[in-house]
Amino acid sequence: MSSSFWPLAVLMSSALPGLVIFFIPETRRTLRSLLNIGAALVKLQLVVLLLLGLYAGETYHWQWSLMPGLTLALKVDALAGLFLILSAVLWLLTTLYAIGYLEHSPHRSRFFGFFSLCVSATAGVAMSANLFTFVIFYELLTLATWPLVVHRGTPQSLAAGRVYLRYTLISGSVLLLGAVILHGLVGTPDFVPGGYLADQGVATVWLWVVFVLLLIGLGVKAALLPLHGWLPKAMVAPAPVSALLHAVAVVKAGAFGIVRLVFEVYGIEFASEIGVTDLLLVLAAATIVYGSWRALFETDLKRRLAFSTVSQVSYVALGVALAGPFGAIGGLIHIVHQGVMKITLFLSAGNYAETLGIHKVSEMSGVGQRMPWTTAAFTLGALGMIGFPPLAGFVSKWYLGLGAWEAGANWVLAVLLVSGLLNAAYFLPLLYRAWFGPPPPAWPQPKTLSRVFETHGLLLFPPLITAMLVVLLGLFAGLNIATLGWVQWLIHREFGL
Amino acid sequence: MSGLIYSLCALGLVMIGLYGLARAHHGLQQLLAINVMSAGVFMLLLTMAARHPPADAVPQALVLTGIVVAISALALGLALLRRLAAEEAESHD
Amino acid sequence: MQHMIGWVWLWPLGVAVLLAWPLLRRRAMPLLLLALLPAWALWGLAWGLPDLAMGKIDQAWSFWLLGSQWRLDALSHSWLGLTLVVWTLAALHSLVMVSAHQARYALFFLLSLSGSLLWVLAADAVSFYLGFSLMSLSAWGLVIHEGSRKAQRAGRWYLVLALIGELTLFVGVVARAAETGTTTLSEWSSVPGADWVLICLWLGLAIKVGVPLLHVWLPLAHPAAPVPASAVLSGVMIKAGVIGWWLLLPGEVMAQTAWPEFMLWLGVLTMFYGAVFGLMQSDPKTLLAYSSISQMGWLIWGLGWVWQMGTPEAGMLWLSAFALHHGLVKGGLFLSVGWVKQSALMAQPGLRTATWMGVGVLALALAGLPLTSGDWVKTALKAEADNAGAVVPSTLLWLGGLATALLMVRFVAVLRDLGGHKPTAAGNQTLTGMTIGVWFSWIALVGLVLVWPWWQTSHWGTGHVWSGSVQGLASVATALLLVWLWRRLRWPEWEAPPGDVLVGYQWLGAHAHRVFKQRHRSWRARKRLAARHWRHWQTARLLKSHWRTRWETRLSQWSVVTAGLMLVALGLVASVWVTV
Amino acid sequence: MLDAILTLLILALAWHCVRTTDLFEAIVVFIALGMLVALAWTRLQAPDAALAEAAIGAGLAGALLLASLRQMPEMSATRAPGAKTTGLGWFWWGLWGALGLALVSGVAAIQTTSVSLMPQVQAHLSDSGVTHPVTAVLLNFRALDTALELAVLLWAWMAQKQLFVPGRQTVYPLQGQVLKTAVKALLPLMVLVAVYLLWRGSSAPGGAFQSGAVLASAWLMLWLAQLPGLSRKQGGMRLGIQAGWLGGVTVFLLVGLLGVFQGAGFMGYPPDQAGAWILLIESAAALSIGLLLASMVLVSMPDFQEGTL
Amino acid sequence: MTEWGLALLVVWPLLWGALTMVVPARQVTVAGGLAALVTAGLGVWAVTLSPQFLVLGNWSTPLGLGWRLDGMAQSLIGVTAVVGGLVSVYAWLDKGLPPTFWGLWLGAWGAMNALFLTADVFHFYVTLELLSVASVAMVALTPGAGATRAAFRYLLVSLTGSMLFLLGVALLYGRYGVLDMTLLAAQMTPDWPSMLAFALMTVGLLAKTAVFPLHGWLPQAHAKALTAVSAILSALVIKAAFYGLMRLWLEVFGPLATVSASWVLGLLASAAIFWGGYQALKTARLKRLVAWSTVAQVGMLVLALALVVQAKAISSVPSVHLWQGLVWLIAVHALAKAAWFLAAGTVQKRADSDYLAQIGFALHRSPISVVAMALAVISLAGLPFTMGFLGKWWLLSLAWELQAWAWLLVSLLGSLLTMAYGWRLLNLSLVNRGLPQALKPVSVARDWVALCLALLGVMGGFGGHWFWEGV
């Protein structure tokens, strides 16, 4: 196992600039943006190189033993690659967007510092090779994102920060407890595709206890039903942060954790054998319907998107819980696709808030005329979310459907149907009002951010690029470089087909 | 026989010291109580030494050290009390 | 030729993208015709191919959307023909009849055109589903084009039902793909499916076909849409449901199931349902919508019959002929309503009489007058259907024909009332050369309707137009008699609101909404109350916060400290003494 | 019989000392208690301890307490009005009784165990450089104990020097010539006694602590009679006093370090020179203990001026 | 050579501490600073030595005094050296410190070094006494009545503790006639006098470590003391007394430290954790919050000790990592608490007020201190990438192996409570509505010392395996 330093390089590519940015004085805007974008590009470059290497059969493993029996190990495997490429691409776009968005606001060095730390924590979560490292980076993610949530320092953001912390820190210690018990039962070997709990002869009651503990720990970040309270409240954060929280880092880490837990700790057959996947299935389905249902009644735009995230992320959990190759493919693809679609929606919502001061859904009417391009991106994102064929959402829903049939859980198809309807119910009126509604006499806080485009260049292009991604990922799903091909290759290895 | 009496006396002193500490209302009383207690402990040590004819020199050496430590602690305590009295007097007027 | 198919439906999308160009946006209408050219080219070329009858030419793009394939065989060739004719006519007429929001109209027109071209040529389930949903959702844009309150209401109902249909279809298609293991449609027809899967598929498409109780959107949408759009809606899109049934449901194994029986009787029911409510309409386009529903009855019945045949392929040819007939005639009729409203044209006596002549021909063709395409197709179908297993008494079919005839008579009457008032000299509607050209294309359509059966029989070399039976004549005559009788006896003219059962749905919806709103309000009130309690409790707790300092001072008193000392010492001694 | 009476007397005095609310009375009883305890220790064949207790435990402690009392505002320790203190309820007494019983039974159990380090002490007494076992243990076998104990004394003084706050009480000048002449007569005698105690320490009960205590009292007498002596005004004297304070600890530790060089291990002396080194350390320790104790008492005098020390 | 080094380790600080009384006021800080750095060097060097047993003055143990240098002692000397050294640097930078601080601090340092080295019970008492006298004096350095009252209370409690400890020693001597720890451990038999001695000595040390019922003196003393002094007290002095507890429970009174005895310790620890945590959560003053957090963290340490004792008593659990875990937790708390106190002190001096409500702006203006405090809180709460996290992982896995559900839960809740009151502070630093007050100029170097200490707490996590396998 060549212990190469590549994974460390990826990790450091965003951590070091983050630390340096902390010390850059507030006024040095160009230096900071340069460093930021440079770091993002380097990281993207590294990740692409790693993926190509992976495809050629290389293995990248780095470890450092902290305590007897506990090593800090990073490994880039196919699953990690998937998450890495998502976070690298979306981080680049969100950084561009954030530079534009936080044009005149204070504390930017602090913001971008934590921003890069957060992404390096996400990379750590992706690349962690054993449960111990995973817990470390998982908690680091909380610490890195909290200052972002309370960045504005207003009483509401502090209250939201407090709620966020209460949820994530408690779940963090529950996760730690689960990991410790697992370490006590079976030690902490590396993640292995078929899962290492199968033949360890551990009493099933302990397996269930550990699974529930770990699920609670992961469930908070993956916004499963009872533990999703913090997500809508964290909407007071600035747009790039909520984009980061929902699409790139936090929620994805939770979902990714569940994937690692079921695939590479328990192993998919063993998990379904002892029935833990049924619990996950019911929970995910409930969250999907509940999330969309609550989104129906939210008058604030970003809260509505937040609740839609709550329901969308559980698709990943649903896919994983279907305990079959197709379901798994659907789940994994959705990690990437949901990320791309959700970031489009959030960036466009951010544009509306920043350029026209629109926060409420009712203020959206006629926005199509004033900002056609952003609304086009928003429309593509929304249609993708609903699952219309040519777009990315359709592909993952398609495979989830196949998985549901394959697992014999027909009611899951009904869940997909109902959630599709609910999605349409809370997105389409929005689109109708945006395109066909009469523009109001005056926008809440209109700002002319750029002479050429409808809003600041940096604010406009990222959502457009991600909207393009939504379409391309949907249309050219068959290509092996697209997520579907990569995931199929991964799943074949995983299930040993 | 006499050894037992003196050890009882020592323990008596310790317990009275503890009682004094509990009921004291003034810093000085607390210091006195502690010194009574230390006298009791030293007496206990010496009774241990005197159990067999050649009185054991090691406990006696310990007692000597203990006495010096007790006096320095007492002196420090009193210095603190004086300082406290002066400061309170200052703060009142 | 092989690689042409893919581009046929991508081309309109490309043109739609061109619309983003501001200067093109102003003159958007000609683009519609431009988008149809490659399709015509393919259709024309396909004629020449010898192996068209037997095999089929297909094309596959593995990278495209989970690996999609398209094919062009005899059946799809004829459907393509139907689609192209109706879409071209619609494009021509929209040049004339659509004036407001041309860019938006063109965008939705092109999107739905590419959708309809795609599902016709689709050889795999995903492409069919993509085409079908693209067409039905972008058609929504056409329905609400006018932006009036009626159009918005129609649009809302259209969208809700289209969405439900589309999502149920999605579930059906996914389940079917999982069941059969592949997405290529040709392999689907031989694999028997689980009941609920077939029901999902059937339901998804039934909404588009307008099966009774699911048809409520049709009578609202067609009249609300501009004339060319409603022509397309009725001519092409409504067929998508039937052809979708044929493609998706496993035709070869249907014989053993109860489906054919069900379809036969459903067909008949739809015929009568459409006719009965159609008669009660006063607006010509709504009436035509109902007549489309009743005509669909024929197709549903036809499918029921086709599934019972050993080799469904042949039967399907006749059905597609009927579909072609209905598409042309219904499209023509809708356009005629447009022309009748075109007062400028009506002002010219010569043109007026010609239009009325055309309307007459079309109405009679639909009613099934001998020597017309309607009669030819219906009688041929009835003859073929006799030797099938389950059968529906022929008198019912005749009554169906009568119903259609009645509808047509009613339509002509209503149209005359509409056109009756003197053609006021509408100010700006000057009679431009272009309108005349487009009018002539309509007349060409009428001619095509007449000529087509003769040409088709000679091409197939089987059957002949004159079936010799007088049933068709009898039905038209009795229809005229009944209407004349009705008028004479001045029986009351019942009026039914368009979308008949829709009123019931709306009442149900409103009631549910009211109940929900009330519960929601009480839930929010409860939530606000709980929040107030929490704040109250918080402040109370703060007031007595000195509780902790009181305990702290008590803890630091010397009596307590010494007690603590002794307690811990004794506790330790006890705990050790107990165990040792 | 005498022991029983003595024990009862001691316990009664202790009980009274703790119970009384008048501070002055408590201090006087405490001094008496000190004397009796010293007497009891002589009965327990611990002459060194008795001497030290009498000199330091009763004498100097009493002086310190009385001096500090002068500067306390309220003379008696009546319970501060209103301060709610939990009385010593039955629970407290129950615990107290149980602990007492436990201790008594513990001590009774080990009353008869015959364990003692005396045999080892006597075995090694010959090469410890001194003949008196207690001094041998103090300055040779457990030398570091004594060194650190001197350090404790020094650090306590360092703290008091820092805490010193000029007394504001009115000064009652000590009258008349009688004290002066008495002090002049007694002084040489006391110094002689101190030196004798120091010298005898190596072979009989005595030694650094006791002679230090005597020196301290001599010093105090000098100061009380306002005779020129300890004041720092004379330059040379000030440095001498400061060196005196540190003398004990520094000499002890440096000699200890020397031990490492001479191969006798840290805090060890080569057997032949042990006696000489011990004498050196004893004298330095005696001087510094005397100075430190005197300074502590002086600093607590109400009319003590800043400059004198 | 090693004997020479160890001797110097004790003698050097004591000598220089004594000399500071003679040196004129101006040069005291320089002299004291240099002496402190040399002692730190010696301390770190001592860590590299191999474990050994040293007899003082060539007198064999029952008679003479023994110095023992095993893993536990070495690590603690090392921690004291590192933390002490950095705090001395901070004190050197803090111009407001009275000169006698150096004398007292060096005396306390020498006493601690002697305490860690000694293997003799009575010598442990003497060193503990010297340490207490010096600490009380340091607390009394701060001007004002509050500090004196706190110092007096601290003196009383520590004297009571020492008396009880000495009573225990007397009983031990009476029972075994030997004062050396190793010999005592060998002869220890669980009979009544030994139990009594065990209980008394433990209570004595509990009083000095400020565990729950006897914690009254700590919050006032640590809150009122000067910044450097409170750091020394919280991080180091408390640990010396806790070291005594470790020696007694794990070594001297081995056979007596049974599971039920560990339950008593566990109960006290849980009470300390929750009471300390609750008070820290509610208090309105900055340094008092940090002081109460010490009470809670000491509770955590005692809980860890109870678990280790339980593990030793059951002796089914491999004891190779037992005491290392305890020492690791001590190091974590020492580094984190010193960093927190120094940072809090700096911020308090800038804001010139101790109330949390008024230091918002000062926190805002001193980012480095805020980062130091954040890292300290993260390390104490056991969040990742810090030594604290590894410590918490070790504690939880030990509790899991012993199936001690109660203590497992208590330790989890304890760290959650730590996060709660830690985050109170950090919330303040992110709020941006504090009205701009005039801030006292305080040199940034002091913030950097606090940050350096906190970073050691984080970086230590990586050096872990050397500690766990090596020592």
> Where are chain E's structural domains?
258-471
Q: Are A351 and A460 in contact (CB under 8 A)?
A: yes
Q: How far apart are CA A367 and CA A356, in angstroms?
A: 9
pLDDT of residue C426: 45
**Band of residue C58 on the pLDDT scale cut at 50, 70, 90:** low
Q: How far apart are CA C142 and CA C101, in angstroms?
A: 11
C566·D95 Cβ contact <8 A = yes
**Number of helices followed by number of strands (H, E) in chain B:** 3, 0
Q: Report which secondary-structure segment, H or E, holds B68.
A: helix B57-92
Side-chain-side CA neighbours of E440 within 13 Å: the count stands at: 12
**Band of residue A452 on the pLDDT scale cut at 50, 70, 90:** confident
pLDDT of residue A390: 78
Q: What is the percent of chain A with per-residue pLDDT over 70, rounded to a whole number? A: 97
Subunits with 3+ Cβ pairs within 8 Å of A are C, E
Interchain CB contact of C70 with A (< 8 Å): no
C570·D92 Cβ contact <8 A = no
Tell me the average pLDDT of chain A. 85
What residue ranges in E153-243 does DSSP mark as E strands? none
- The arithmetic mean of pLDDT across residues E144-170, rounded, is 92
Nearest residue, CB atoms, E149 vs list B17, B41, B84: B84
Chain C interface with D: residues with Cβ < 8 Å: 554, 557, 559-560, 562-563, 566-567, 569-570, 573
Q: Are A148 and A122 in contact (CB under 8 A)?
A: no
pLDDT tens digits along A129-173: 889 999 999 999 988 888 888 888 788 888 888 889 889 989 999
pLDDT tens digits along D79-122: 544 444 556 788 888 999 999 999 999 998 888 887 888 888 88
Nearest residue, CB atoms, E412 vs list A65, A107, A173: A173
Nearest alpha carbon to residue C576 among E188, A381, A124, D44:
E188
Residue A387, judged by CB atoms within 10 A of its CB (0-12, 13-18, 19+), counts as: buried
Q: Which DSSP string do the residues of D34-60 spell out, in sequence order?
A: HHHHHHHHHHTT-HHHHHHIIIIIIII
Q: How far apart are CA C220 and CA C82, in angstroms?
A: 24
Task: Give the distance from residue E431's alpha carbon to the nearest chain A alpha carbon, in angstroms.
Answer: 5
pLDDT of residue E424: 85
Residue B9, domain CATH: 1.10.287.3510
Residues of A in contact with E463 (CB under 8 A): none
Does the pLDDT at position C4 exceed 80? no
Does the pLDDT at position D176 exceed 70? no
Q: How far apart are CA C127 and CA C119, in angstroms?
A: 7
Task: Give the distance from residue E27's alpha carbon to the nearest chain C alpha carbon, in angstroms.
Answer: 41
C63·A414 Cβ contact <8 A = no
Subunits with 3+ Cβ pairs within 8 Å of D are B, C, E
Residue C368: left if φ>0, alpha if ψ -120 to 50, beta else—which one? left
- The arithmetic mean of pLDDT across residues D204-222, rounded, is 85
Q: What is the percent of chain C with per-residue pLDDT over 70, rounded to a whole number? A: 86
pLDDT of residue A482: 67
Q: Report which secondary-structure segment, H or E, holds A250.
A: helix A250-260
- The arithmetic mean of pLDDT across residues C521-537, rounded, is 83
Q: How far apart are CA E131 and CA E111, in angstroms?
A: 6
Nearest residue, CB atoms, B91 vs list E137, E145, E160: E145
Find tokens 């999902």 and name the residue: C200
Interchain CB contact of D148 with E (< 8 Å): yes
Nearest residue, CB atoms, E126 vs list D115, D116, D145: D145
Read off the tokens for A164.
């966020």
Cα D285 to chain centroid, rounded: 13
Does the pLDDT at position C219 exceed 70? yes
Comparing C359 with A314, the larger pLDDT belongs to A314
Name the closest residue on chain C to residue B23, using Cα atoms: C559
Nearest alpha carbon to residue E9 among E48, E31, E40, E52:
E40
Q: How far apart are CA C495 and CA C418, in angstroms?
A: 17
Task: Give the distance from residue D177's alpha carbon to the nearest chain E alpha carbon, in angstroms.
Answer: 37
pLDDT tens digits along E388-407: 888 898 899 888 888 888 99
**Band of residue C310 on the pLDDT scale cut at 50, 70, 90:** low
Q: Report which secondary-structure segment, H or E, holds C559.
A: helix C558-579
pLDDT of residue E110: 94
Interface test with C, best of D18, D79, D84, D86 (most C CBs within 10 A): D86
pLDDT tens digits along A425-437: 888 888 888 888 8
How many folded domains does chain B comprise?
1
pLDDT of residue D305: 60
Interchain contact D/E (3 or more Cβ pairs less than 8 Å): yes
Task: Give the gyration radius of chain E's Cα atoms.
Answer: 21
Q: Mean pLDDT: which of A58-62, C504-508, D264-268, E407-411 is highest?
A: E407-411
Query: Residue E49 — φ and ψ, nearest 5°?
Result: -70, 160
Cα C68 to chain centroid, rounded: 23
Read off the tokens for E450.
């606090």
pLDDT tens digits along A64-100: 888 877 888 888 888 888 888 888 888 888 888 888 8
Does the pLDDT at position C7 exceed 80? no
Tell me how far CA of residue E109 lies from CA of E53, E233, E453, in angstroms: 22, 11, 18
Query: Residue C432 — φ and ψ, nearest 5°?
Result: -90, 160
> Nearest-5° angle of CA C34, CA C39, CA C45?
125
**Band of residue D228 on the pLDDT scale cut at 50, 70, 90:** low
Comparing A105 with D286, the larger pLDDT belongs to D286
Name the closest residue on chain C to residue B17, using Cα atoms: C562
Q: How far apart are CA C113 and CA C107, in angstroms?
A: 10
Q: What is the percent of chain C with per-residue pLDDT over 90, rounded to a whole number? A: 1
Residues of B in contact with D110 (CB under 8 A): 48
pLDDT of residue D83: 46
Cβ-Cβ contacts under 8 Å between B and C: the total is 11
pLDDT tens digits along A354-387: 888 888 888 888 888 888 888 889 998 998 888 8
Q: How many CB atoms lie within 10 A of CB A293?
A: 16
Q: Report the predicted TM-score, pTM, of the whole model to 2 decimal places.
A: 0.85
Residues of B in contact with E155 (CB under 8 A): 73, 76-77, 80
Nearest alpha carbon to residue C236 among C217, C278, C208:
C208
**Band of residue D170 on the pLDDT scale cut at 50, 70, 90:** very low
Residue type present at position E297: Q
Q: Report which secondary-structure segment, H or E, holds E193.
A: helix E192-209
Residues of D in contact with C554 (CB under 8 A): 86
Read off the tokens for C270.
């739809």
Query: Residue D165 — φ and ψ, nearest 5°?
Result: -130, 125
Tell me the average pLDDT of chain C. 78
Interchain CB contact of D98 with C (< 8 Å): yes
Tell me the average pLDDT of chain E. 88
Task: Give the distance from residue D79's alpha carbon to the nearest chain B alpha carbon, in angstroms.
Answer: 6
Give me the residue spans of the domains in chain C. 1-249, 257-495, 501-544
pLDDT tens digits along E315-363: 765 555 788 889 999 999 999 999 999 999 999 888 888 888 888 888 8
Q: How far apart are CA E7 and CA E54, in angstroms?
A: 11
pLDDT tens digits along C316-353: 777 888 888 888 888 888 888 887 777 666 677 777 78
Nearest alpha carbon to residue A390 among A478, A487, A311, A320:
A478
Interchain CB contact of E174 with B (< 8 Å): yes
pLDDT of residue D150: 92
Task: Give the distance from residue A434's alpha carbon to the nearest chain E alpha carbon, in angstroms.
Answer: 36
Residues of C in contact with A409 (CB under 8 A): none
Task: Give the distance from residue A382's alpha carbon to the nearest chain C alpha carbon, in angstroms.
Answer: 14
ipTM of the complex: 0.83
- The arithmetic mean of pLDDT across residues C199-203, rounded, is 85
Residue B58, judged by CB atoms within 10 A of its CB (0-12, 13-18, 19+), counts as: buried
Read off the tokens for D57.
């435990």
Read off the tokens for C369.
């007058």
Nearest residue, CB atoms, E59 vs list D109, D141, D162: D141
Q: Report which secondary-structure segment, H or E, holds C317.
A: helix C312-341
**Band of residue E432 on the pLDDT scale cut at 50, 70, 90:** low
C171·A474 Cβ contact <8 A = no
B9·D41 Cβ contact <8 A = no
Interchain CB contact of B73 with E (< 8 Å): yes
* Contacting C residues, span 500-559, partner chain B, CB-CB under 8 Å: 558-559
Helix (H, G, I), strand (E, B) or coil at C549: helix
Cα C104 to chain centroid, rounded: 20
Residue A482: left if φ>0, alpha if ψ -120 to 50, beta else—which one? beta
Tell me the average pLDDT of chain D. 82
Interchain contact C/A (3 or more Cβ pairs less than 8 Å): yes
B69·E129 Cβ contact <8 A = yes
Residues of A in contact with C159 (CB under 8 A): 428
What's the 3-state SS for A197-220? Answer: CCCCCCCHHHHHHHHHHHHHHHHH
pLDDT of residue C255: 74
Q: Mean pLDDT: which of C112-116, C447-451, C540-544, E165-169 is highest?
A: E165-169
Q: How far apart are CA E191 and CA D106, in angstroms?
A: 9
Does the pLDDT at position C425 exceed 50? no
Flag the least confident range among B37-51, C65-79, C271-285: C65-79
Name the closest residue on chain E to residue C541, using Cα atoms: E282
Q: How far apart are CA A215 and CA A227, in angstroms?
A: 11
pLDDT of residue E317: 56
Does the pLDDT at position A420 exceed 80? yes
Interchain CB contact of A24 with E (< 8 Å): no
- The arithmetic mean of pLDDT across residues E3-30, rounded, is 88
Does the pLDDT at position C421 exceed 60? no
Comparing E201 with C229, the larger pLDDT belongs to E201
Task: Give the distance from residue E238's alpha carbon to the nearest chain B alpha carbon, in angstroms.
Answer: 19
Helices (H), C181-311: 185-188, 195-209, 217-224, 227-232, 238-248, 251-254, 259-279, 284-308
Read off the tokens for A407.
């697992």
Residue D229, judged by CB atoms within 10 A of its CB (0-12, 13-18, 19+), counts as: middle
- The arithmetic mean of pLDDT across residues A300-321, rounded, is 89
- Domain span including residue B56: 2-92
Comparing B67 with C159, the larger pLDDT belongs to B67
